[in-house]
Every structure is written in structure tokens, then in C-alpha cells.
Copies of this chain bind each other. A is one copy, B any other.
Amino acid sequence: MPVLPAPTFDDVVDAAARLDGAAHRTPVLTSRTADARTGATLFFKCENFQRMGAFKFRGAYYAISRFDAEQRRAGVLTYSSGNHAQAIALAAKLAGIRATIVMPHDAPAAKLEATRGYGGEVITYDRYTENREEIGARLAQARGMTLIPPYDHPHVIAGQGTAVKELIDEVGPLDMLVVCLGGGGLLAGSALSAAALAPACSVVGVEPEAGNDGQQSLARGEIVHIPAPRTIADGAASTHLGAYNFPIIQRLVGRIVTVSDAQLVGTMRFFAERMKLVVEPTGCLAAAAALDGVLPVAGKRVGVLVSGGNVDLARYAGFLHG
């Protein structure tokens, strides 16, 4: 794969133009209860209302929109057990190109079905004995397909950055922006937008307590790898930041904090009870940090990224039962 230049805010602007009409401009919701509890003015950017239920559509669609004619002929390939799989499958369908998705054979049936439902070819692997990056690279090579990994890609980062661009365009400057952190696609893209549009805004990443590799990486000044963390925030269960993502995070993100699974459940219940929103565990990371006293938000205008709402209903019901 050719080395692409690091993404800039210009790429985010380009992504926003290409996503116009294809992605939803998701609503920004507010909550008097949340504001009263925190003393802050919180703006929730609701990417759970995005197409296929998560921000991932933005990066996938933009990355494919940058394909040249030859890339379009051969199609796109990715590996993902989560929202990126469906995002690539849907974006490829809209672009009229082939998509191959490498997914663990024990991924939830609903996710395999949804990915196939968008017309993606699913190739399964054994996550305990095989390496998805290797399988992906080998298949991409053999088939001439372009690999678009879930986060470590400049166009994916730029696409994800469009959510915060929309947020600041709509509500004006922010004092703080809080974003969930897995591999760093959303956080790096969001930081590019915040730096350009609200330079005084401090950008905070939020990881699950069980998987704080991002926090460790910032502290050490290099990408730290950890074993796969056990957390209900499956979308942030990555083991290391991306090579494109880390330098941006290092430069533009002031702080990375963590929240517990119990805090995520409490936040999921808050969203359902008070804001009438279904939010998946990973989508609660940023809000949990803002609502639970983890961050000094009082008196500030704070943007909170709600990253997605894709959660199996039975599992979700279990969380609500508490």
C-alpha cells in the first residue's frame, strides 16, 4: 500500500463536501438534566443517528470516494468485527463497488447478517489462531483490492473529523471536546476539526479503564500495545493506536482519561431514561467522563461525541435492567 500523507483539516473539509447528501447531518441534542448535574452546557453530537448507526460511515464513505478508477474496479477490503465492517459494506454498495470484509467467525450473527445484507462478501477467520491484519493484507494483495483498515488511515481519519466540524459549525466555539478513543480515528479527526475551528478548545480522549493504551502512549511518547482488553465498550477494545493517528493525538489532544464499565452502564441508563436515546456502550465513553465528575466541565461549553447506537437488543435490555 502506498504511504499517504498525514491528514489535515483541508482533508476534513474535502470529506465534508463529499459526505454532503450521503451522510446524515446528525442532530445535536441538549439536556437540562445533564447541564444541571454538571454545571456545564453540554452539546451531544448524536452519531447514533448516523447511517448504519455510527460515525464509522463517514470515514468509510470518504475513503472509498477517494478511490481512482482502478481501485473502484477491484473493490475494497477491510477487517472489522464491528461498525466499520457495516460502514464499508454500505459505502461500497453506494459506490457500486465490491467489498470483502474479514470478520471473526464467532462475530454476532446479527453483525454478519447486516454486513452481508449490504452486499458485502464476508470471509471469516478464527480470532484465537489467526491474525486479521495478515489475512487482510494477503487477500488485498492477491485480489488487487484496496485495504481500508478501521482507523489507521488518513482518509478514514479525515472522514471521522466531519462530525465535530458539523458540531462546531452548528453550536459555535467550545471550551472542551470529549471523544471516545479506541484506535484513534474519531479522536484524531475530531482534534483536527477542533484545532482549526475552535483553537481554544481542549480536546479530551476517553478510553475504557480496562484498555488505557492511549493514555499510556501519551505518557510514554510512543504507541503502547496492550492485550485485548475486556470491556463492554467493544468498539474501543483495540490494542494500540494507529500510526497515522498517534502523532495527531500527541500534538492536539491534551488529555486522555478512563471510565469504568459500571460508569458506561450508568450513562447508558441516563441516555435511555432522560434523553430517550439508545446508545451503545462505546458511545457512552465520552458522556460518562463528562457526566460523572471525571472531567472539570463546570461552567464550560462542552461538546460530547455520542459515537453510535448499535447494540443487540437483548444485551441492551440486560444493561437497562441494571
Contact = CB atoms under 8 A, between A and B. Distances in A.
Interface residues of A, number: 24
Copies of the chain in the assembly: 2
Contact of A276 (B32, B309, B320): B309
Interface in A270-322: 272-273, 275-279, 309, 313-314, 316-318, 320-322
B276 A313 contact: no
A182 interface: no
Contacts of A322: 313-314
A306 to B, nearest CB: 9
A47 B303 CA distance: 24
Contacts of A269: 313
Most buried by B among A51, A273, A276, A277: A276
A276 B317 contact: no
A312 to B, nearest CB: 9
Contacts of A277: 276-278
Given A27-B27, A49-B29, A278-B278, A272 B320 contact: no
Prevailing SS type, chain A contact patch: helix
Interface in A41-86: 48-49, 51, 53
Contact of A317 (B27, B29, B309, B317): B317
Contacts of A48: 276
Contacts of A317: 316-318, 320-321
Contacts of A279: 276
A313 B309 contact: no
* Most chain B beta-carbon neighbours within 10 Å: one of A27, A272, A275, A314: A272
Given A316-B320, A317-B320, 6 more contacts: A32-B51, A272-B316, A273-B313, A314-B321, A316-B317, A317-B321
Nearest 3 CB-CB pairs, A to B? A276-B309, A317-B320, A317-B317
7 contacts: A49-B275, A49-B276, A276-B278, A276-B279, A313-B321, A317-B321, A320-B320
